[in-house]
Structures are given as C-alpha cells and as structure tokens.
Amino acid sequence: MEPLALSINAAAKALSIGRSSIYGLIKSHRLEAIKIGTRTLVTTASLTRLAQSRKDA
C-alpha cells in the first residue's frame, strides 16, 4: 500500500528540493500538509498534483 502522507524530509527527497522549499510550497498552498501531533506531513496526492502541474506547464 502506498503511503498517504510523507514527512517533510521524505517529500523534499522525492522532489529533489530542500526542506525550506517544501515549507514554502506549503505556505503558498501548493502542497497540502496535515499535522499529527507535532509532525507535519505532506499528502502524497498533493505531491502528485504538483508534479503533474509542472509536467503539463
């Protein structure tokens, strides 16, 4: 089963960008994040949407 959300580090690695860039994308609402306790996780669906939108551009 594919994970529904990834840590900030895993999301950054998946997109080959830095952690600050991930936080910037979350702040600009281009990535969807969820909080579970103190952890911030990025949904894999939002990562896929972002990658697809860049591919189409």
pLDDT digits (tens, 9 = 90+) for 7-48: 999 999 999 999 999 999 999 999 999 999 999 999 999 999
Report yes or no: 31 and 25 within 8 Å, Cβ to Cβ: yes
Provide the edge-to-edge strand list for the sheet that holds 39-43: 5-7, 39-43, 33-36
Q: Give the pLDDT confidence score for residue 54 in this predicted structure.
A: 77
Q: Give the pLDDT confidence score for residue 57 in this predicted structure.
A: 65
Whether the predicted pLDDT of 53 surpasses 90: no
Q: Give the pLDDT confidence score for residue 26 in this predicted structure.
A: 97
